Structure 1
């Protein structure tokens, strides 16, 4: 038996994904071509996520189906909430394994070029006004992504602070109420607005945000570096380094799937 390719779904991950997939009944009359099995199609989706190859260039000899088949399943499974459900499931398992630390969280945004334009793109101020998007991520104390969102490249990071906090799902995994809010939230000078500090306090979160106009070396970097590390892990997936999708929902599907895979890797490491 050959060695498993890095983008192929491991048994443990597949055991978690399979129950989340919507069931598609085959028509009795005029059934058409037999539907390609879900695990092989998922391997094709992950191949595109890992390598960044265009859908039409997905190698047929790998047996993952056509690029159009994988594209449609990515779309349909995203609509069905599969990727978000997987991310929440893995977060709950990490919390049960005592691998999540809600004592603090960190947020930041990262630009990426949008080659074909589309929804949630805009002139990027850091790329000579070229069309771009932004990834916004909130991570817990160890750098595990709790939520990620997509906006146009011209959106200010601060405008996405509260939507990002609100995007954190209720994380189960322990007895009692699910955990959703960190105790403290760390952010750089781009988020330095007193109105946002007040709103965070209203949510029961202590804001720790660097002040504009002060010298660098605030000391917050010792806690904020984890969000930069999370971006490095996300952008290790070639499909997330540059946005090729015109449709924002497809890029968001890749973004959520990337967060889930990071959680899966951390879960495996904690079990060793």
Structure 2
């Protein structure tokens, strides 16, 4: 996070006490055995910083130096897998979205959808040969944001999947967002999409969810006029791919890459919340 000249700035992978107070209650509790307890468990807060360090820098797990204080790379990887199995990252994203809504910083009046291709050199589930990646193996990040570019949901698919096939799953992936009295909110009023989503079948399916589709038509000479509203989702992709571990998929396990993706959405939402409160 950049604070400007002459002002101290924290490293982007540091987890301050305020963020830790949000994350710690979501982590599964691990009781130490009374008999044969073994080596003391490395502090969760430091391990999380190690996970974020790998996500920010993109280095291999085995290159994570113990001298940094995060624990070994294998310790961080195992803790990431443990917390992923416990669904910590979707809970974190949902909790921070609720805080944004409570602060009136979330705009459900419209949402924007798009997809971004990444290379997947090691293959694995949810990969495929992509027409935009010279036929190389890749994956895609379908993304939906609110009207201000806050990520509401992101998923992982094969690089050979058409974005329009993920439109309904994306809308359904938006969690119920609390933060205000009454029912949680989990559908935008309008969804914006480029001409790649121009299929009447999917327009009808979007209407069935109670959402108005505003999708560009193919072949319109002067464009759809939606660019001024859709550029925010492109900016959010830039923020997500600022995490180097999300620019290229190195994980064979799809759940681990999805963990990075959801954690990245949660961190972006947290930064937006702190910016709103500043």
TM-score range, shorter chain: over 0.9
Hey, what does 1:192 align to over in structure 2?
A: 198
Deviation per residue, 1:36-80 (Å, 9 max, x gap) = 010010010000000000000012110101111100111110110
Task: Please state how far the C-alpha of 1:6 moved relative to its aligned partner.
Answer: 2.2
C-alpha separation in 1, matches of 2:200 and 2:130: 26
Alpha-carbon separation, structure 2, partners of 1:242 and 1:61: 26
1:115-264 matches, cutoff 5 A: 115-264=121-270
Give 1:46's aligned residue: 52
Q: What do the CA deviations read for 1:203-261 (whole angstroms, capped 9, x no partner)?
A: 11110001112224211111111110110000000000000000000000000000000
Residues 1:70 and 2:51 aligned together: no
Question: Hey, what does 2:5 align to over in structure 1?
Answer: none
Q: Please state if 1:83 is matched with 2:93.
A: no
4+ residue segments displaced more than 6 Å: none
Paired with 2:9 and 2:115, the residues of 1 have a C-alpha distance of: 37
SS in structure 1 at match of 2:153: strand
Equivalents in 2 of 1:61, 1:221: separation in Å?
47
Q: Which residue of 2 aligns with 1:106?
A: 112
Whole-Å Cα distance in 2 between the matches of residues 95 and 240 of structure 1?
26
**Partner-residue secondary structure (3-state), 1:35:** coil
- Equivalent-residue separation in structure 2 for 1:6 and 1:84 (angstroms): 21
Task: Give me the CA root mean square deviation.
Answer: 1.1
Is the partner of 2:20 in helix, strand or coil?
Answer: helix
What is the rounded CA distance, in whole Å, between the counterparts of 2:259 and 2:241 in structure 1? 14
Q: Distance in 2 between matches of 1:14 and 1:230?
A: 24
Between the two proteins, the alignment pairs up a number of residues equal to: 271
- TM-score for the superposition, normalised by structure 2: 0.96
Question: Matched residues in 1 for 2:220 and 2:185: separation?
Answer: 34
Q: What are structure 1's unaligned runs of at least 5 residues?
A: none
Deviation at 1:3, TM superposition (A): 7.0
Cα deviation, 1:161-216, whole Å, max 9, x if unaligned, reads: 00000000000000000001100000001111101111111111110001112224
